[in-house]
Structure 1
C-alpha cells in the first residue's frame, strides 16, 4: 500500500483464473491493496470465493446484489454502486464519497455521427450535484489507462465528472493486473504487472511448463529456487545450463531484493568521470511534440532542480529545454548524464529539441555532454539482473526499498502525458465541454507542484537504482553467503508505472 492514499486492486476473473493458490496469494502480497474490486465483465464466483479466502480485507464484486456499499480505507472513502440507478438515492445516504465505483459508466460512440456519450452520465451527474465533495468516478468497464473528465448539466448548472477506468490493461501477450493508488484529492496513479508474472512464473525464463517441472522437483517457491545451484536445476528435464543460470539469478534478485551482476564489466560512467547527474523528462507521449518538464538530481550536492513549462503551447514546445540546457552549460563544463532507458527516449528527444529550439547549445550538447543509460547496460547488454517484477524504474526502485510518498505517490507518467496532450489540444476551447455540448470530454486540471514532485521521485529513484547496480558484486566476486550478510529480504513487491508503459 502506498504511503499516501489507498490502493485499490481491480481484477478481471479471467485474467487470474488459471493462477494456482500460491500465485494468486502472490498477487495479493505483491500489490498489498487496501481493498480488492472484481469487475463485472467475465466475473466468476469461484475466483471471487478464492480471493475472499486469501485476502483479509474487503473484496467487492460488481456482480453482487444490486446495492450500494461503502468502504473507507486510509481515510479514503469508496462508494460501490451495483447500478447507476442507485446513485441518486445514494447521494442522500452517502454524500461524502471520494470515489464512486460503478461499472455501468461507459463511453459509447454513435456509429453514424461518431458523437461520444457517457452511459450513466445523468445519474452520475445527479449524484455529483448533491454530493458534498467532488468525487472521482471509477468503472470496471474501462481499462485503468482511461482518464477523462466529462461534463453534464444538472438544473442548469454545469457538473464535472472525472472518470477513470480500473480494469486490467490489455498488453501484447496478455493482460496486466492494475492497482490504483487513490488519494482524497482525486489523483490516481496506476501500477501494473503482467498477470503471468506471479508465483514461479515471476522468474525470468520460467513459463507454465518450466514452473510445473520446478514444482514437481520440489521447488515450490522462489525462495527455494534461489537456494538451488545451477547444477541442481540442470538435472531437471528441459532446463539447460543457460536457462538454469538465468533462473537462479532471477530468483536471487527477487528473493533478496538486490541486483545480481552477471558480468564483471564496469558500470559506466568510469569512476574518474565527472559526477553523474540523473535526468528525467516529461512529455506528451512516446512521439513527443513538447518536453514540458525536465528534472535533474545532483547526488554530490544532494540537490534537485527542475525546469517546467506551466503554460505549455505547441507554438513554443522547447521552453523547458532551453532553460535546462542553458543552466547545464553554465553549471557543468563536461557533465555526465544518466537516464533510465535514456538511449531510446530521453537523449534522442533532448537532442532533437536542443537542435531545433536551442541551436546555440547544440555543439556543447554533442561535444561536451556524456550520456549513459543504466537500463541499457543492465538489461539490454545482460550485465545484471534487477529485482523488480518488471524492469520499469519504479518496480526496481520499490523492490530496493524506495517508497514514494506525498503528491508523487498518486501520479504516473502516462496520466500526466495524456493531460498535457489534452491541454495542448485545447479541449476546453470552443466546440467542447460547456461551450460545445455536454457529451464532450474535457481536460483535467494539472497540479504542477505534484508533477514536479513526481519527476523528483523519478530521478532520486534512478540514483538509488544506479547505486545498487554499482554496489552489487561483479560476477567473478560472488558473495560467500546467499544474500547481503547472509540475511534474506523476502519483500519483492514493486509499484507504479511511468511513461515507459506507453
Structure 2
C-alpha cells in the first residue's frame, strides 16, 4: 500500500477478471497492494464483485446506482465516489472536501453534426469544484487509464479547469491490462498496469489456460511449486517438452525468487574491463517526440547523477536540453558508453536525430566516439536472461528486484509527464498568439518532481543492470534444441511492455 506518497487505487472491470480463479485474484491484490479497489460500472457483475470483496481486506467501492454516494479517505487522500453526476449537484450545498471525484458519468461526447466535443457531466463537476474547498481531479471508469486531459468550463462567468483521468483497464489484444493509480494529495496520478493474464500460473512463460490447468491437475498449484520442481518432472507432464519445461522452470524461479535468471554465458555489454557504463534516460512529449526536454545521466564510477532540463520548453527551441547534454558529454568523456533500457527502440534513435538536427557540430563525435548499449535488447529480445517482472518495463523489473520509489517521483509516470509537456507546449503557443497575457495559466509541471522521476529511472536502470551482470549463467540450457517446440514467452516481451 501507499506510504506518504498518497493512495493506491486499483480499478477493475468485472469482465477483465471474471476468468481469474481465487488464487490468481489474490495474486492481483497482493501484487498491486492497493489501499482501495474501485469496480467500474461497465460490465458490472455482482458475482465478480462479491469475489473481490471476499478477497480484499479493505474498502471496495462499486459504481452502482445514481443515488449512491460515498466518501473514502485512505493514506491521507480523500475520494468522493458518486453514482451519477446529478448526485454531485445534490451535494453542492455541502460539498465535502476531496482530492479526487470518482464518477463514471463523466466522459467526452461528440456532436456528429457540429463536430464538437463536450464533457458529459462536466457542468456538475465544475459547479462542485467551485463550491468545494479543494480543486479535485476527476477519475472516471468510463475511460481507460491512459486517458489524461484537462477540460475547461465556466461557472457563473468563472473559468474552471477540470483535469480528467480514466481509471478503467486498458483494452489490449488478448487480455485487458489492469491499472493501478497512485493518487497523491495534489491531484497527481501515476499509472502502473499489468495484463490480466499475468497473474497466478499464467504469469509463467508460455503458460495459457490449458497448460495452467494441466499444472494444477498434477499438483503444481503455485509458481513456487513450479520453481521447486525438477525439470525432468515437468518434462514428464503431457504436452510439455524439454524446451517448455526449461522455460517454465526459469520463469518460475525468476518470479518466485525475484531474481534474474541468466540463460547463457554471453557477457553483458559493455565489458567492464573496456568501458564504464553511463546510464541514461530521456523525457519527451510522446512516442514521436518533437522535443527532448530532459536528459538524465548516472555515472556509477563517480556515483554522480546529472541532468539537463529545459524548464521553459518550446517547439521553437526543442534541442536545448540535448545541446547541454552532448556538450557536457564531449567535455567529460572521450569515448562514453551509454546504457538505456529499450534504448535501441527509442532513446538512441531520437538522441541521434536531435544531435544531427540541433547540435550538428557534435554529430561526428556522437557517431564515432559514443557507444550505445541496451540491456533490454540483450536480455529479452536476444533471450539471454529471464527477468522477474510481470512485464519487462523497467519499473516492473526494478520493483521485483526490490527498488521502491518514494516521494513525488512515485506519483508520476512517463506518459503523464509527456502529456503535461505537450499541453504546456500547446498552451505556450496559444498564449503567444493571444495579446491578453492575463490568460496565461500556471504550469502544471512540478520540475523538481519531474527531475526526481528521471533520476529514479536511471538509478533503477543501474540496479537492474547490476542484477543482470551479477546473475550466474545457467548450465545445460536446452533452448537451442527442439526448435520445433513452441517457445512463446508471454511474460518476456510484447506490445504491452512499452
Same fold (TM over 0.5): yes
Distance 1:216 1:475 in 2: 29
Distance 1:174 1:325 in 2: 42
C-alpha contact 1:149 1:443 (8 A) present in aligned 2: no
Question: Residues 212 and 500 of structure 1: is their aligned pair in 2 closer, same or farther, counting only changes over 3 Å?
Answer: closer
Distance 1:77 1:444 in 2: 24
C-alpha contact 2:2 2:35 (8 A) present in aligned 1: no
C-alpha contact 1:277 1:298 (8 A) present in aligned 2: yes
Shift in Å, 1:93: 3.5
**Worse-matched range after superposition: 79-88 or 396-405:** 79-88
C-alpha contact 1:273 1:336 (8 A) present in aligned 2: no
C-alpha contact 1:79 1:101 (8 A) present in aligned 2: yes
Q: Does 1:217 align with 2:218?
A: yes
Distance 2:432 2:199 in 1: 47
Partner of 2:37: 36
**Secondary structure of the equivalent of 1:425?**
helix
Partner of 1:254: 255
**Secondary structure of the equivalent of 1:180?**
strand
- Number of equivalent positions: 476
Partner of 1:439: none
Shift in Å, 1:372: 0.7
C-alpha contact 1:68 1:90 (8 A) present in aligned 2: no
C-alpha contact 2:81 2:103 (8 A) present in aligned 1: yes
Q: Deviations over 1:212-232 (max 9, x none)?
A: 000000000000000012111
Shift in Å, 1:370: 1.2
Question: Residues 48 and 444 of structure 1: is their aligned pair in 2 closer, same or farther, counting only changes over 3 Å?
Answer: farther
Partner of 2:473: 474
Partner of 1:227: 228
Question: Residues 427 and 35 of structure 1: is their aligned pair in 2 closer, same or farther, counting only changes over 3 Å?
Answer: farther
For residues 328-477 of structure 1, the aligned pairs below 5 Å read: 328-426=329-427, 429=430, 445-476=444-475
Shift in Å, 1:426: 3.2
C-alpha contact 2:152 2:162 (8 A) present in aligned 1: yes
Distance 1:201 1:13 in 2: 18
C-alpha contact 1:283 1:293 (8 A) present in aligned 2: yes
Partner of 1:487: none
**Secondary structure of the equivalent of 2:10?**
strand
Distance 1:165 1:105 in 2: 10
C-alpha contact 1:340 1:393 (8 A) present in aligned 2: yes
Shift in Å, 1:143: 0.4
Q: Does 1:182 align with 2:158?
A: no
C-alpha contact 2:322 2:354 (8 A) present in aligned 1: yes
Partner of 1:482: none
TM-score after normalising by structure 2: 0.92
**Secondary structure of the equivalent of 1:292?**
strand
Partner of 2:24: 23
**Secondary structure of the equivalent of 1:170?**
coil
C-alpha contact 1:97 1:135 (8 A) present in aligned 2: yes
**Secondary structure of the equivalent of 1:160?**
strand
**CA-atom RMSD in angstroms:** 2.1
TM-score after normalising by structure 1: 0.91
**Worse-matched range after superposition: 121-130 or 417-426:** 417-426
Distance 1:17 1:393 in 2: 29
Q: Deviations over 1:418-467 (max 9, x none)?
A: 2222222338827999x9xxxxxx99721121111110010000000001
**Secondary structure of the equivalent of 1:118?**
strand
Q: Deviations over 1:28-60 (max 9, x none)?
A: 111000000000010000000000000010000
For residues 57-456 of structure 1, the aligned pairs below 5 Å read: 57-64=58-65, 66-426=67-427, 429=430, 445-456=444-455
Question: Residues 199 and 364 of structure 1: is their aligned pair in 2 closer, same or farther, counting only changes over 3 Å?
Answer: same
**Secondary structure of the equivalent of 2:71?**
strand
Q: Deviations over 1:351-378 (max 9, x none)?
A: 1111111111111111111111110111
Question: Residues 427 and 271 of structure 1: is their aligned pair in 2 closer, same or farther, counting only changes over 3 Å?
Answer: closer
Question: Residues 430 and 305 of structure 1: is their aligned pair in 2 closer, same or farther, counting only changes over 3 Å?
Answer: closer
Partner of 1:438: none
Distance 1:87 1:405 in 2: 34
**Worse-matched range after superposition: 393-402 or 107-116:** 107-116
Which structure 1 segments of 5+ residues have no match? 436-441, 479-493
Question: Residues 500 and 54 of structure 1: is their aligned pair in 2 closer, same or farther, counting only changes over 3 Å?
Answer: closer
> Which 4+ runs in 1 deviate beyond 3 A?
91-94, 430-433, 499-502
**Secondary structure of the equivalent of 1:178?**
strand
C-alpha contact 2:82 2:102 (8 A) present in aligned 1: yes
Distance 2:240 2:105 in 1: 48
Which structure 2 segments of 5+ residues have no match? 478-490
Shift in Å, 1:311: 1.5
**Secondary structure of the equivalent of 2:167?**
strand
